[in-house]
Amino acid sequence: MQFGFRAKHSTETANCFLLENVKSKMDKGGVVGAVFLDLRKAFDTVNHEILITKLSKFNFSPDALRWMKSYLEGRTQCVRVSNELSPTLSYDVGVPQGSILGPLLFSLYINDLPSVCTGSEVQMYADDTVIYVHAKSKQQAAQELTTVMVQVTKWLSDSCLHLNVKKTVCMFFTKRATDATEPDVYVSGEKLQVVSDFKYLGIILDSNLSFKKHVKKVIQITKFNLANFRFIRNCLTTEVARLYFKSMILPHLTYCLTSWTQACYTTLKPIQSVYKQALKVRDRKPNSHH
Per-residue CA distances from 47 to 14, 52, 105 (Å): 27, 9, 11
Q: How many domains does the chain have?
A: 3
Domain that holds residue 180: 11-43+106-206
Residue 189 reports pLDDT greater than 90: no
Name residue 183's amino acid. P
pLDDT in tens, 18-58: 999 999 999 998 899 999 999 998 888 999 999 999 999 99
Report whether 131 contacts 37 (CB < 8 A): yes
pLDDT in tens, 53-72: 999 999 889 999 999 999 99
Domain boundary among 164, 188, 206: 206
Coil, helix or strand at residue 156: helix
Report whether 104 contacts 68 (CB < 8 A): no
Coil, helix or strand at residue 268: helix
pLDDT, residue 146, reads: 94
pLDDT, residue 90, reads: 87
Report whether 2 contacts 189 (CB < 8 A): no
- In a shared domain, residues 150 and 278: no
Domain boundary among 147, 180, 206: 206
- In a shared domain, residues 130 and 266: no
Give the C-alpha separation, 237 to 244, whole Å.
Answer: 11
Share of the chain above pLDDT 70, in %: 99
Nearest to 128 by CA among 81, 178, 198: 198
- In a shared domain, residues 149 and 195: yes
pLDDT, residue 178, reads: 58
- In a shared domain, residues 20 and 140: yes
pLDDT in tens, 195-245: 999 999 999 999 999 999 999 999 999 999 999 999 999 999 999 999 999
* Position 1 in a domain: no
- In a shared domain, residues 188 and 240: no
CA triple 36-40-44, angle to 5 deg? 130
Per-residue CA distances from 166 to 163, 193, 223 (Å): 9, 8, 33
Per-residue CA distances from 148 to 59, 115, 196 (Å): 29, 11, 21
pLDDT, residue 179, reads: 60
Give the C-alpha separation, 196 to 90, whole Å.
Answer: 44
Give the confidence band of 181 by pLDDT, cuts at 50, 70, 90.
confident
Coil, helix or strand at residue 138: helix
Give this prediction's pTM.
Answer: 0.89
- In a shared domain, residues 78 and 147: no
If you average pLDDT over residues 103-116, what whole number do you get? 92
Helix-, strand-, coil-residue percentages of the chain, each rounded to 5: 50, 20, 35
pLDDT, residue 276, reads: 95
Q: Where residue 37 sits, what CATH number does that domain have?
A: 3.30.70
- Mean pLDDT score of the chain: 92
Task: Quickly count: other Cβ atoms within 10 Å of residue 241's Cβ.
Answer: 19
pLDDT, residue 136, reads: 92
pLDDT, residue 175, reads: 84
Give the C-alpha separation, 159 to 164, whole Å.
Answer: 15
Give the C-alpha separation, 181 to 138, whole Å.
Answer: 10
Residue 177 reports pLDDT greater than 80: no
Residue 77 reports pLDDT greater than 90: no
Kindly give the interhelix angle for 265-282 and 212-232, rounded to the nearest 10 degrees: 10
Name residue 79's amino acid. V
